[in-house]
Amino acid sequence: MRVPLSWLREYVDLPATETGRDVQARLISAGLEVETVEQLGAGLTGPLVVGKVLTVEELTEFKKPIRFCTVDVGQANGTGEPQEIICGARNFAEGDKVVVALPGAVLPGDFRIAERKTYGRMSRGMICSGDELGMGDDSTHGIIVLPPEHEVGTDAAALLELYDEVLDIAVTPDRGYCLSMRGVARETAIAYGLPLRDPALLDVPAPNSYGYPVQISDPIGCSRFTARTVVGLDPEARSPIWLRRRLQKAGMRPISLAVDVTNYVMLELGQPLHAYDRGRLDGPIGVRRAETGEKITTLDGTVRALDPADLIITDNRGPIGIAGVMGGANTEIADSTTDTETGEVRGTTEVVIEAAHFDAITIARAARRHKLSSEASKRFERGVDPQAAAAAAQRTVDLLVLLAGGTAEAGVTEIVAPSAPRTVAMHADHPDRVAGMRYGRETVVRRLQEIGCDVYGQDELVVTVPSWRPDLNEPNDLAEEVIRLEGYENLPSTLPKPPAGRGLTERQRTHRRVGRALAGAGYVEALNYPFVSERILDQLDIPADDRSRRVVRLVNPLSDEEPALRTTLLPGLLGALRRNDGRGSHDLALFETGLVFRLPAEPGVAVRLTVDRRPTDAEIAGVNAVLPEQPRHVAVVLAGAREQAGWWGKGRPADWADAVEAARTVAREAGTELIVRQGQYGPWHPGRCARLAVVVDGAERLVGFAGELHPRVVKTLGLPDRTCAMELDLDLVEEASAGPLRAPRISTFPVATQDVALVVDQDVPAVEVERVLREGAGELLESVRLFDTFTGEQIGEGKKSLAYALRFRAADRTLTVEEASAARDAAVALAAERTGAVLRGA
């Protein structure tokens, strides 16, 4: 909502010294989001005057049409002589009043006006358009042609109100009343402690039986409809400058007098209106739901198929408007035209004004259904004051009579569905308990009365909510109003006091260690939104019966394309990898730790907790019981080079082993050891996928997968070739931990190294051989490392050789060769028994 400061001053007597910045600070303190304050006329200086075009000479010897004009600017040029000006625009004629920038003027953009020779003539100034003066869209993009009554030489900057300040307010969904000057003025008056001149306080005639006929078939969708008729409008009447400038400052484009007036009143009072050409209406106006197959051509020229849920305005011919969204082209106000033979000006001379109140949800759904967000729909879906309809219609009638010479017919149609004022019961100290500070009953009552509430009672208050505040429905809403008007900045800031000796939990420490370890290994953290489309699970080849397919769907997602919460971290990470690769970063290693969301076995509905007391343990347990399971996962993705080439040697590309090693790094930081086996799952290549498990309470538990992605998945998602990935359930890995990490004990005795080369079948995993060697070597084994693999004729068909380095060390003595050899032989013997391994060369 754009709010010109000069317009705001009509309703609130702000101090003359108050600037837009000062008002911005007050409104922000009151809880409004004032994003910017625009300084209109910044950079505009110098003589800018009203001139009268005396002569126009067409210069035809140039490629584009050029006109040499003489313009009377009175004594503004110091001589009284006509000003000679070259101009290329063609929307003005001799005798027209225009805006002239004389030499010495500076226009927005530091465009300086000076005498200069151009097109063979001297040009001493410029005839200005609205764009050149920074006035905004005036629908013509041509020279400003002023009404003839303005005197030559008048200061055009003051006439056009070029100097002003405009507050740009981001109105939140619960503050629909601030989509009007009336609403913002009320907040400003409260912020300054000044009285408000309410523009809706008008004398409105009582409804009668001889107004324009209206029939409402859906009183739930339309609870109020006011119709007024104005006849005898002058089709040549144009919107005055002040009206056009206010619309432009508010960000709207002037169109015609009748339309401009309805837009002006909407901005002023917040009530959307619509003007029908009465000569184009056929019979009574109706309000009903659309029927299957009905269509309408809206004012933007688009033919729209109506949905049975749409609320529409009709006459005897059918739909003439989508209620609260946009009117139909068949009843729009006609542009004035001049008959070339008779000179008669024709146009709309009789209008029917509609001021109605429509159901907010109905309008919001219709606007989204038709992808048609209008100024009217933005207001209706946030809540419009139903009591303002009659005043808005009267204000429109008054302006049309004043500006277009019309006459208001005596008939007044007003159809109102029965309703009662909304009341909310609240303890007088409820805001105190919510805020954690004492306001007192007098302050609470005063603040509620300032926003328009009627308050009765002593300790137990009964509050009648004003009609323009549909967001006030319960005590907490009223408490919020008191707190914001008293100032959020005045709330006490009290930090919680944890018991001495406490800090991060072990779970938090683990998550931080994992992040630091992966960052130290060369991975970059990428934080992604938790929203996904279910289609991505198909693209990842997730099995149809997999638990990851049971997603939590959002009722009101930010994007219809991503309506679900993620069950895996891979979609976000792979999307980030694809974007970075597309922008030239080809060597990538990304990681993320975050929550995934799994639908509970028995979905339920959470109870609504209060804020004036601590919830009971049972209430908290009830909420937790229906929440989705939210385990924390860790995932990495890799592509391109893992090690760069340089003078130090050749680089190497990232491969499946790097993804497995990332999983081992996570497990080490969590204080546990991974069991790595060959696996096959979803997006991973079946021959290059590792199944990762841990032992929890004596049972082996699957925690994730790592490896190279399937070529089909890589192609479908547009990823670099040979992209690798890993994902672990970090909570399960932590559960397998033996507890807090303990620093290893450093022995002062030397290490004894023994190498063994074992020949096994090709299908025996190296990790299984390593596990058996660890078990067989006993407590003296410090570490085991696979340092070579070999296949060939010397080994035999279907066989492979695995070479391991075994490091033995005792904590209390130097090992003898016999002890180290005995431990090695025990390890080899167990490997032979479990895996069929044969000592190479034996």
Q: Give the per-residue pLDDT at 479.
A: 95
Give the pLDDT confidence score for residue 398 in this predicted structure: 95
CA distance 82 to 683: 80
User: Which residue reads 């007036």 in tokens?
Assistant: 261
3-state secondary structure 163-224: CEEEEEEECCCCCHHHCCHHHHHHHHHHHHCCCCCCCCCCCCCCCCCCCCCEEECCCCCEEE
The residues, any chain, with a CB within 8 Å of residue 267's CB and separated by 6 or more, are 180, 181, 246, 247, 250, 252
Residues of the chain where predicted confidence (pLDDT) is lower than 50: none
Three-state secondary-structure class, residue 477: helix
Other beta carbons less than 10 A from residue 304's beta carbon: 21
- Bridge partners for 57 per DSSP: 68
Query: Beta-strand (E) ranges in 465-620?
Result: 524-525, 531-532, 564-565, 588-595
Other CB atoms within 10 A of residue 59 CB: 15
Closest Cα to residue 661, out of 672, 676, 640, 643? Answer: 676
Residue 189: burial class (beta carbons within 10 Å; 0-12, 13-18, 19+): buried
User: Partners of 725 in the beta sheet?
Assistant: 637, 707
pLDDT score, position 567:
94
pLDDT of residue 741: 65
pLDDT of 517? 95
What is the spatial distance between Cα 354 and Cα 282, in angstroms, rounded to a whole number? 15
Strand 460-464 with 295-297, pairing: unpaired
Backbone angles phi, psi at 649, to 5 degrees: 145, -170
What is the reported pLDDT for 399?
Answer: 96
* pLDDT value for 492: 85
H helix intervals, 722-803: 730-735, 766-777
CB 288 within 8 A of CB 322: no
What's the pTM value of the predicted model, to 2 decimals? Answer: 0.69
pLDDT digits (tens, 9 = 90+) for 784-823: 999 999 888 888 888 999 999 999 999 888 999 999 999 9
Question: What torsion do the CA atoms of 294, 295, 296, 301 make, to the nearest 10 degrees?
Answer: 180
DSSP secondary structure letters along 45-88: BS-EEEEEEEEEEEE-SSSS-EEEEEEE-GGGGSS-PPEEEEE-
> Which residue from 276, 265, 269, 227 is spatially nearest to 396, judged by alpha carbons?
265
**Rounded distance between C-alpha atoms, residue 759 and residue 835, angstroms:** 10
Q: Measure the CA–CA gap between 388 and 356, rounded to whole angstroms.
A: 9
How many angstroms separate the CA atoms of 226 and 210, rounded? 13
Q: Which residues contact 384 (CB under 8 A, 6 or more apart)?
A: 176, 270, 271, 272, 357
Tell me the C-alpha distance between 24 and 28, whole Å: 6
Q: Which residues, at least 6 apart from 10, have a Cβ–Cβ distance to it below 8 Å?
A: 197
**pLDDT tens-digit readout, 564-607:** 999 999 999 999 999 999 999 999 999 999 999 998 877 778 78
The contacts of residue 654 (CB under 8 Å, 6+ apart) are 589, 638, 639, 640, 641, 642, 722, 724
pLDDT at 744: 72
Paired strand residues for 98 = 51, 145
